[in-house]
Structure 1
Amino acid sequence: MLLLALGADPDHSPPDWPYLRPVIIASRRGDRRILELLLNAADTSIVSCSTVRPTPPLLPAVASCDTAVCELLLAKKADVNEADKLTGTTPLHVATRCSSKRMCEFLLYRGANPSRLDAAGRSALDEADEAEVDSVAEIIRAFSPSTYLTCFGQRK
């Protein structure tokens, strides 16, 4: 906190580790207090990614399954659909890979796009189906725009 008060860059990372941003580390560890300090000391671009820093902080926060950390990032305008610039992985993909029904619901209720594809052309639903995580697949399917009932009551 003292370093931030003295003007240290809250988004600084070592030149040889440009992906190792403080906000990523705090998100991954689920350290709400440190994350809040970093977010309050920086402009809102700290919650976004770029070609130099391809991983949005929401991805490791989702992997930690800490909804409070995710809420902090979303309150600072993190995009619930922002994908990793290299892999195309979205927060919903991460929640699916963690088999976290609770995190999938959390993201979907906040506008996560269940149809978004990663760089390999796979959606979170594709991954849930392949991993046979039925509870997660069921939640994602319920939010999918392509899920509707025909006049015969069958899902399409």
Structure 2
Amino acid sequence: MRTIDPFFAPGLWGGAPMPPQSPTMTAGRLSSPQRRPAVIAPLLAHAPLASLTGSVLGPRFHAWYGRSRRRTICSVYLVRDDEAKGLPDFADGIVIAARRDAAGLRALAVFALGDSEDRRAWVEEAISAGAMEWHVHLLAEDDKERRALLQDLGG
């Protein structure tokens, strides 16, 4: 089965293909430009990680794109009927509550992990809205970066 990289498939994001970009020089090294979609959907754009397609890890990771077109890699956890509702007990991170149905995958809510009371309220609200998956981003290094990412993702 042939896999098409969604970042180079013309019109996949609802627009024209990305214009050709030349490599850039960074810190004395030649680097390729970041691969990003040509047009961002009105809501969050997303894509599975092409490098993991067809592997056991493929369903466990997903990429979301915010207003800035920056790619945010998330670990995927299913909503469960336990005390934590399937959301791992991480102290800091950004969570995208998502629903997967016949129309595809869509974000329902974006929130930051933090105070346990806030977390419970966000989790219950997301589940009431139909959340089926938690997409958790843990790579923001500090509160400032988490707030910026939360803003970029529309939370």
- TM-score, scaled to structure 2: 0.28
* Structure ranking higher in helix proportion: 1
* Structure ranking higher in strand proportion: 2
Q: Which has the higher contact order (CA 8 A, sep 6+)?
A: 2
- TM-score, scaled to structure 1: 0.27
